[in-house]
Structure 1
Amino acid sequence: MSGRLIVISNRIPTEAEPSGGLVVAMHAALCNHGGIWIGAHPEVTEAPSSHLEEIGDQTSYTRLAFRIAQREHEEFYLGFANSVLWPVCHRRGDLVDLKRSFETTYGEVNKRLARLIMEVVEPEDLIWIQDYHFFPLASELRKLGFEGRLGFFLHIPFPALGDLGALPQTANLADWLADYDLVGLQTRADVARCLEMFRAQRRAEVMLDGRIKYGARVFSVRSFPIGIDVDTFVKAATEGCDSADLGDDLKEEYIIGVDRLDYSKGLPNRFRSFAQYLEKRPNKDRRVSLLQIAPPTREEVTAYRQIRVELEELAGRLNGQHAELDWTPLRYIHRNIDRNLLAKLYRGARVGMVTPLADGMNLVAKEYIAAQDPEDPGVLVLSQLAGAAEDLTEALLVNPYDIEGMAEAIAKALDMPLAERKRRYAACMTMVDKTDVAIWCKSFIAALEACEAPLAWGTVARAASD
Structure 2
Amino acid sequence: MSRLVVVSNRVARPESLNSGAQGGLAVGVLAAMAEAGGLWFGWNGRIENRPTTEVREEKRQNIDFVTIGLRQNEYNNFYLGYANSVIWPLFHQRPDLMSYRHNNRMGYLGVNRKFVNQLLPYLKPDDTIWIHDYQLIPMAKMLRESGVKSPIGFFLHTPFPSYDLLRALPDYKEMLDELLHYDLAGFHTKIDEHNFHESIRYGLGGAVPRSGLVDCKGHKVQTGVFPIGIETDEMAELMRRGKTSKEYQQLKEELGERKLFIGVDRLDYSKGIFRRIQSYEQLLKNHSEMHRKVVYMQVAPTSRGDVKAYSELAQRIDQAAGHVNGTYADFDWTPLRYINRGFRRRTILALYNLSHVGFVTPLRDGMNLVAKEYVAAQDPDDPGVLVLSETAGAAAELTDAVIVNPYDTETVAKKLAEAVQMPLDERIDRWQKMMTVLRRNNIHAWQRNFRAALKPQIHPPID
Give TM-score, length-normalised by structure 1: 0.94
Instruction: Indicate yes or no: 2:402 matched with 1:396.
Output: yes
Q: Deviations over 1:330-369 (max 9, x none)?
A: 0011001111111110001000010000000000000010
Identity of aligned residues (%): 40
Instruction: Specify the code of the residue in structure 1 equivalent to 2:44.
Output: H
Structure 1 window deviating more from structure 2 (390-399 vs 227-236): it is: 227-236
Cα distance between partner residues in 1 of 2:119 and 2:334: 53
Instruction: Indicate yes or no: 2:263 matched with 1:257.
Output: yes
Are the equivalent residues in 2 in contact too, given 1:228–1:436 (CA < 8 A)?
yes
CA RMSD of aligned residues (A): 1.7
Instruction: Specify the code of the residue in structure 2 equivalent to 1:163.
Output: L
Aligned match for 1:353, one of 334, 353, 359:
359
Instruction: Specify the code of the residue in structure 2 equivalent to 1:17.
Output: S
Are the equivalent residues in 1 in contact too, given 2:261–2:296 (CA < 8 A)?
yes
Cα distance between partner residues in 1 of 2:249 and 2:204: 63
Cα distance between partner residues in 2 of 1:219 and 1:346: 40
Instruction: Indicate yes or no: 2:15 matched with 1:16.
Output: yes
Q: 1:237 to 1:202 in 2, by over 3 A?
A: closer
Q: Deviations over 1:107-148 (max 9, x none)?
A: 111112112222111121000000000011101111111111
Cα distance between partner residues in 1 of 2:77 and 2:110: 10
Aligned match for 1:62, one of 61, 64, 75:
64
Q: Deviations over 1:155-189 (max 9, x none)?
A: 00011111112212376232011100000101111
Q: Deviations over 1:52-87 (max 9, x none)?
A: 3214x5321111012210111111001100000000
Q: Which residue of 2 aligns with 1:458?
A: 461
What is the 5 A alignment of 1:62-461? Answer: 62-169=64-171, 172-239=174-241, 241=243, 244-251=249-256, 252-448=258-454, 451=455, 453-455=456-458, 458=461
Are the equivalent residues in 2 in contact too, given 1:96–1:166 (CA < 8 A)?
no
Q: Shift of the alpha carbon at 1:262?
A: 0.2
Q: Give 3-state SS (helix, strand or coil) of 1:66's partner.
A: strand
Q: Give 3-state SS (helix, strand or coil) of 1:201's partner.
A: helix
Aligned residues: 455
Q: 1:285 to 1:203 in 2, by over 3 A?
A: closer
Instruction: Specify the code of the residue in structure 2 equivalent to 1:13.
Output: A
Q: Shift of the alpha carbon at 1:22?
A: 2.0
Q: Shift of the alpha carbon at 1:284?
A: 5.0
Q: Shift of the alpha carbon at 1:210?
A: 2.4
Instruction: Indicate yes or no: 2:38 matched with 1:35.
Output: yes
Q: Give 3-state SS (helix, strand or coil) of 1:205's partner.
A: coil
Structure 1 unaligned regions, length at least 5: none
Q: 1:244 to 1:61 in 2, by over 3 A?
A: closer
Cα distance between partner residues in 2 of 1:405 and 1:208: 37
Give TM-score, length-normalised by structure 2: 0.95
Q: 1:239 to 1:42 in 2, by over 3 A?
A: closer
Structure 1 window deviating more from structure 2 (278-287 vs 426-435): it is: 278-287
Q: Shift of the alpha carbon at 1:411?
A: 0.4
Cα distance between partner residues in 2 of 1:194 and 1:49: 38
Q: Give 3-state SS (helix, strand or coil) of 2:82's partner.
A: helix
Q: 1:302 to 1:62 in 2, by over 3 A?
A: same
Are the equivalent residues in 1 in contact too, given 2:173–2:203 (CA < 8 A)?
no
Q: Give 3-state SS (helix, strand or coil) of 2:386's partner.
A: strand
Q: Give 3-state SS (helix, strand or coil) of 1:29's partner.
A: helix
Structure 2 unaligned regions, length at least 5: none
Cα distance between partner residues in 2 of 1:455 and 1:102: 32
Cα distance between partner residues in 2 of 1:218 and 1:249: 59
Cα distance between partner residues in 1 of 2:304 and 2:159: 19
Q: Give 3-state SS (helix, strand or coil) of 2:45's partner.
A: coil
Are the equivalent residues in 2 in contact too, given 1:186–1:387 (CA < 8 A)?
yes
Instruction: Specify the code of the residue in structure 2 equivalent to 1:29.
Output: A
Q: 1:239 to 1:107 in 2, by over 3 A?
A: closer
Are the equivalent residues in 2 in contact too, given 1:318–1:330 (CA < 8 A)?
yes
